[in-house]
Chains A and B, each alone.
Chain A
């Protein structure tokens, strides 16, 4: 009978998946995030375009949903509520987070481009829905604004980014050679 040395017996630690690949992914991910936030900070036109684009897509939605919608520079009034559209109101943060994850993940360039294009579009739609929901909450339940705002801005943005990334990894694993 062959004696198995204690060090090679299966224990929870040596049954665990290896940590290495995840650390490589994590390092690439954080690097891409830093790069993304640096680009946003150092190229002010990115932020300006995002704010202008958000306003351009938000206004038709608000006009369809509410009466008396007005815009003064970056401020939007609808449903008796006035909001100023700043950088955090745009989908930029979600776009940086998702783009970092897709770029850091090992896959082919065409699949990455598909993921980026589809992900950016979904994040943009989510952002418009988020601002519209915030206007409704601010008008009807102002006491719930803080909770709704942090829930939609941080929790749901991360959830949408993670959800999109998971969907995209499924696409990548289907397209990967066996």
Chain B
């Protein structure tokens, strides 16, 4: 439970900085995707920046910092790897969305079912990416993860 309290504390502390950085993060993502697709993409001036992407990075960092059972070096490495992966996932989602829009512009709209499937799958990273990446990088250091139940027999070490 201490992990949970530390996570909540870090997530709360990081919420405001993430809100302030959301616009910059969105421009960074748009810039990256623009370079990849070779088309300049600009943020919609009429709407506020998407706060969820930057906040998800903050949530992920909070999870890493809360995992004090992991060595400090592993925690910081996980922070760096995770931020890169989360940024990559956001770019991949944006690229897929851009690809779908381009395809629709050329060949007409997709069937409603196909679009619903695409939107459903692209919504998974919005709330699941941070916890999933954390589970991969540092989840094994938490005692409440399913080590015991999925346990494989480790090679025995002889002290003789």
- Chain A residues close to B by CB (< 8 Å): 2, 8, 12, 16-26, 29-30, 33-34, 37-38, 40-42, 93, 97, 100, 105-107, 146-147, 149-151, 153-155, 157-159, 162-163, 166, 169-170, 173, 176
From residue B156, how far is it (CB to closest CB) to chain A in Å? 12
Give 10 new A-B contacts, CB below 8 A, not counting A16-B140, A24-B146, A30-B132. A22-B135, A22-B145, A26-B132, A41-B119, A42-B113, A106-B146, A106-B149, A146-B51, A159-B4, A162-B131
Given A107-B149, A169-B144, check contact A23 B136 (CB 8 Å): yes
- How many A-B pairs fall under 8 Å by CB? 132
From residue B8, how far is it (CB to closest CB) to chain A in Å? 5
Q: Are B150 and A151 in contact (CB under 8 A)?
A: no
From residue A161, how far is it (CB to closest CB) to chain B in Å? 8
Stretch at the interface among B25-33, B35-43, B92-100, B122-130: B122-130
Report A-chain residues with C-beta under 8 Å of the C-beta of B86.
Answer: none
SS class, residues of chain A in contact with chain B: helix
In the docked arrangement, what's the CA distance between A37 and B118, Å? 10
Report A-chain residues with C-beta under 8 Å of the C-beta of B130.
Answer: 158
Q: Are A158 and B152 in contact (CB under 8 A)?
A: no
Q: Are A105 and B146 in contact (CB under 8 A)?
A: yes
Report B-chain residues with C-beta under 8 Å of the C-beta of A17.
Answer: 140-141, 147
> A159's contact among B7, B16, B132, B140, by CB below 8 Å, is which?
B7
Q: Are A34 and B113 in contact (CB under 8 A)?
A: no
In the docked arrangement, what's the CA distance between A149 and B136, Å? 28
Interface size on B, residues (CB 8 A): 49
In the docked arrangement, what's the CA distance between A173 and B149, Å? 10
Report A-chain residues with C-beta under 8 Å of the C-beta of B4.
Answer: 159, 162-163, 166
Contact mask for chain B residues 103-142; partner A; CB cutoff 8 A; 1 contact, 0 none:
0000000000100110111011001101110011001110
> B151's contact among A21, A38, A42, A151, by CB below 8 Å, is which?
A21
In the docked arrangement, what's the CA distance between A173 and B147, Å? 12
B85 at the interface (CB under 8 A from A): no
From residue A175, how far is it (CB to closest CB) to chain B in Å? 12
Given A147-B19, A155-B55, A159-B11, check contact A33 B136 (CB 8 Å): no
Given A26-B135, A158-B130, check contact A37 B121 (CB 8 Å): yes
Could you jot down 9 A-B contacts, CB within 8 Å?
A12-B71, A17-B141, A22-B139, A22-B146, A25-B135, A42-B117, A106-B146, A147-B19, A158-B11
8 closest pairs, A vs B, by CB? A41-B120, A21-B150, A106-B149, A37-B120, A41-B116, A150-B51, A17-B140, A22-B139
Q: Are A150 and B146 in contact (CB under 8 A)?
A: no
B59 at the interface (CB under 8 A from A): yes
